[in-house]
Structure 1
Amino acid sequence: MTTPRNPRANTRGKPFELGNPGKPRGARSRATIAAEALLNGEAEGLTRKAVEMALEGDTVALRLCLERLVPPRKDSPITIDLPPITSAADVVGASAAVLTAVAAGEISPDEAGRVMALLTAHKNIVETGDLERRIAALEEQN
């Protein structure tokens, strides 16, 4: 005969009481607080030393300094000719232009997916605006 497994049987230490939210958001660990206390007022000197080491040829220090000066780009801008979108129906032409750009190799499918997500969001905004205008017109008639 097997007994049902009790998930609390395997917990280490005393489990949190129900309703306990745990650590508050933004709480810092003791190690972080201790490191901040040690480095308090030393940021300028440490930065100066890292730059000096980089200028002397220390490649690790050089990479550290360059990463701070010129962070890596997360994405790059793309250029696509899209028709103006003033109504929800205009999104069809814009999405066709995006697909044409992908087929021509002008943009990647990943970039196209992000543009299509923007087009979808814009279409929803345009539709909401159209509905607001129509409802306002109907309310004026009554």
Structure 2
Amino acid sequence: MPARGRPFQKGQSGNPAGRAKGSRTRVAQAMELILSDDADATMRKATTLAKDGDPTALRLCLDRLMPVRKDRPVPFALPLIETAADLTKATSALLAAVAAGDLTPSEAAELGKLVDAHVRAIGATNLHDRLTRLEAAQS
């Protein structure tokens, strides 16, 4: 039995599954309850202020109506990467797309991480194949 004051063993979570998706904290639930009575009036006031030209109210209304996208599909033709030598083709294509304005630098950086992970996977596969061949040759 765990010592008093330490209900869980070190390195073991009391809730391994984590918080349920969509569940709200007590603070969020309390705020929702407080604001639920005045929600319609608050939204009407924000809309009126936005129509009158208040930039903060306008931003709030627009963010609610059309939230900023976190991610988007990138229409970009990346050369096929089959070996580590193909990495230069991929990075050259990324640089050209940024220079042409087809990709933002941050999008290119994220794609670069994917390319790097893919090249490392190719390297690991090649190493495994070489090791398998060496072991077969020694048998």
TM-score, normalization by structure 2: 0.54
Equivalent in the alignment of 1:41: 33
| Residue from 103, 123, 127 that aligns with 2:119 | 123
State which structure, 1 or 2, has the greater radius of gyration over its C-alpha atoms.
1
State the number of aligned residues.
Answer: 109
| Residue from 62, 71, 74 that aligns with 1:66 | 62
- 5+ residue gaps in structure 1? 1-31
Taking every aligned residue pair, what percent have the same amino acid on both sides? Answer: 36
Equivalent in the alignment of 2:129: 133
Letter in 2 for 1:58: L
Kindly report the root-mean-square deviation, in angstroms, between the aligned alpha carbons of the 2 structures.
3.4
TM-score, normalization by structure 1: 0.53
Q: Shift in Å at residue 90 of structure 1?
A: 1.8
Whether the 8 Å contact between 1:53 and 1:62 is mirrored in structure 2 is: no
Aligned CA distance change for structure 1 residues 91 and 48 (closer, same or farther; 3 Å): same
Tell me how far apart the structure 2 counterparts of residues 126 and 97 of structure 1 sit (CA, whole Å). 19
Aligned CA distance change for structure 1 residues 41 and 100 (closer, same or farther; 3 Å): closer
Flag as ranges the 4+ runs of structure 1 deviating above 6 A.
none
Tell me how far apart the structure 1 counterparts of residues 103 and 37 of structure 2 sit (CA, whole Å). 45
Equivalent in the alignment of 1:83: 79
Q: Shift in Å at residue 66 of structure 1?
A: 3.1
Whether the 8 Å contact between 1:51 and 1:62 is mirrored in structure 2 is: no
- 5+ residue gaps in structure 2? 1-24, 51-55
Aligned CA distance change for structure 1 residues 109 and 99 (closer, same or farther; 3 Å): same
